[in-house]
Structure formats: structure tokens, C-alpha cells
Amino acid sequence: MKMYNLLLLCLYNFEITLCQDIEMSHKVTKITEPVVLGEGPHWDERVQALYFVSIHEQTIHKYVPATKEHTRTKLNGRVGFIVPVEGRTDQFVVGVELKFLLVQWDGKNNSEAKLLKELCEVDQQTKNRLNDGKADPRGRLYAGTMGHEEPPGVFVQEAGSLFVLERASARARTLAARVGISNGLAWDERNRAMYYVDSMDKHIRKYDWDPDTGNISNMTYVFDFVKNGIAGVGDGGTIDTDGNLWWCVFDGSCVLQIDPNTGKVLRKIDIPAKQVTSCTFGGPNFDTLFVTTASMTIGEEQKPPCGSCFMVTGLGVKGYPNVNVKL
């Protein structure tokens, strides 16, 4: 009997050690030189590359892990998101100022992105701009706006909205109004749920999401940044295949793994940059978390490696493939 207990105790300890090892073994690696406001990472599995933007620099970026090559090109305005187009590896929908634009870019450094089509414009006659955007599991593009910022870090309140781009009419339909800073989006297709963050309301929202219409309803809060004692604000995020959220904390130097069913933090991944902006899973097995950051001077200077992209490996979870826009 005693032997048996001892054996159980050993097994128990062994398991704890194993779990700890798995949790402790993740590694954060800097993969690009700093940009000013990195955002909107999208892993394109067709070309095994990461696309992202640097909003104020008006640039779109491509990073190829296999060659470590980081290329970029400048657009004609602040760019909030870049999402590749289904069926075309050199076409992208980008959000520039208040317009959804279809552009063609060969991914080469400083090679001109050619404007193919202006799809639509939102919030006309305002000083708003488009921020984060992403395609849902059916390939519909969602993106939101935010109020004018002046001086840095001070925003016009509740002036933005969340939109979905209508495929047929190429019109943007409003899904949520009175948004402060429209930010991260993630879908749980199995549970017909959409997660969304307006950085100004200090929560992660969950909506019932209708895969056939793209409509959202029944908003609830699933995570409270303030109640959980998180310094900083929620920015971009993603979801893993277990249904847990990975959310970046701007001014918080971390990415949080969150169980949306309990509203609890499961893990906190420290990132060596204060302004952590967004993340997505990618890599050949969708088990690398790519994280964008910013190096904006808001009060204090953010020195390198702030503003770099990082990759986090060894997390022991996987994400879903990022979805391209179906036009």
C-alpha cells in the first residue's frame, strides 16, 4: 500500500514537472527591425509569409521566416490592415485612411503597390481612420474605425464603428457604433462566436455570429482588463484551436492567454516591448505566435527592440489558418 502511494506521488510529481516544463519552454524571438506602429499581422499559408502594417509610416510589410527577409512598401496614407485576397497571392485589401482599397504588390522591397480598385469609403467627412481588420471564417472582411488622435494618446471618444464589407455591393455595413478604438477580432466558428475589442471599453466582447449573414448580436463581456488587474489596454488578438483567446496588451508588455468561458488569465507571455499591438498564429504548423509591437513616443521614448515583430514558439497550442478575403 505504501509503495503504491509512493508510486502515485512520484507519478503526480512527474506530471507537474512535465506541465511546468511545457509552460516554461516557450521562447520569444525578435524577427524584424523596429517599425513605428506595427499592426494587423496575417499569416499567408500559401506563401509561408507574414504580412503586417506600420500605420503611421503608411507601409505594408512582408516577412518570410525561411529566408528572414523583411520587405515593405509605402502606400498613400495611414494603413490600418492588410488582408490577402483569395485566389491571388499578389493582391490585398488594405484599409487606407477611410477607404477599403484593392492593391497589387509583388512583395519586393519598395516595389510600388498598384491601386486596382477603390472598394468603398466609410465615415466620410470625419477625421477618423480605419484601424484593425480581418476576414471571418467565410472570407468576409470586418474592419473598424477610431476617432481622431491629437495629441498622441488622446482620442475623440466613441466616434468609430465596426463594419463588414458586403461582397455583392462592395458597401460597408455598420455592425457596431459608438466605438472608441476598433481593434482585435477573432472568430470561434464551431461556437458561432465573434470576439472583439474596442480598446476604450476595457473588455473583450463576445457576439453571437451568424456565418450565413455575417451579422452579430447578443453582445456580452467575456474578459475585464481592469478587474483582472491588467495594466494597459486590450489591442489585437487571436484564438487557438482549444477556443482560448490570445490578446495583446498595449502599454502592458504582454500577450495574455484567456479562457473566454471563465474570464480568467491562463498564461501571460512577456514581450520585450511595452506597446504590444496584435498577434496571430502561423508557421508551417500554425503553432508559432507572431506578435507586432509599436515604438510610439507617448510620454516616453520606446527604444529598440520596441516596435519589432516577435515570434513566440513552444507554446504547445495551435491556431487556425488566417482567412483571405473573398471578393
Ligand X SMILES: *[C@@H]1O[C@H](CO)[C@@H](O)[C@H](O)[C@H]1NC(C)=O
Query: Which residues are designated catalytic?
Result: 235
Residue among 23 and 210 whose Cβ is closer to ligand X? 210
Residue among 58 and 71 whose Cβ is closer to ligand X? 71
Residue among 137 and 321 whose Cβ is closer to ligand X? 137
Give me the residue whose beta carbon is nearest to ligand X.
208
CA dihedral 76, 250, 222, 267 (to 10 degrees): 130
Provide the minimum distance between the beta carbon of 167 and ligand X in the complex, in angstroms, as a whole number. 13
Residue among 164 and 248 whose Cβ is closer to ligand X? 164
Give the CA distances from residue 214 to residues 119, 188, 280, in Å, rounded to whole numbers and listed in that order: 18, 13, 21
Provide the minimum distance between the beta carbon of 214 and ligand X in the complex, in angstroms, as a whole number. 7
Residue 153: burial class (beta carbons within 10 Å; 0-12, 13-18, 19+): exposed
Provide the minimum distance between the beta carbon of 217 and ligand X in the complex, in angstroms, as a whole number. 5
Provide the minimum distance between the beta carbon of 156 and ligand X in the complex, in angstroms, as a whole number. 26
Q: Are 43 and 31 in contact (CB under 8 A)?
A: no
Residue 196: burial class (beta carbons within 10 Å; 0-12, 13-18, 19+): buried
Rg (CA), the chain: 20
Q: Which residues bind ligand X (CB under 6 A)?
A: 69-71, 109-110, 173, 208, 210, 213, 215, 217-218
Residue 232: helix, strand or coil by DSSP?
coil
Residue 14: burial class (beta carbons within 10 Å; 0-12, 13-18, 19+): exposed
